[in-house]
Amino acid sequence: MTHNKELMIIEDYINDESYKGVISFLDFAFQKLSIKTICCPCLKCLNIGCKDRDKVCDHLLVYVIVG
């Protein structure tokens, strides 16, 4: 079974501090603000496209956050 590049990158972050930071950010954005989508702050989207929690999580792990 072969994995695509994005999936392998995500798997590398599962036990990493970066993953915990992404989850913490998403918890704040989605629970505290009570919204269904946010503008994705990854380097690919640059806060232009709104996405759901799962998609933003994937993007932040693969494409990193704009900072």
pLDDT of residue 34: 78
What is the C-alpha separation between 3 and 23, in angstroms, rounded?
23
- Tell me, letter by letter, the H, E, C secondary structure of the chain: CCCCHHHHHHHHHCCCHHHHHHHHHHHHHHHHCCCCCEECCECCCCCCCEECHHHHHHHHHHHCECC
Query: Does the pLDDT of residue 1 top 50, yes or no?
Result: no
pLDDT of residue 35: 85
pTM (2 decimals)?
A: 0.72
Query: What confidence tens digit (pLDDT) does each residue in 5-42 have?
Result: 555 555 555 557 778 889 999 998 888 777 899 999 99
Q: Which tokens in the block code for residue 10?
A: 């995500």
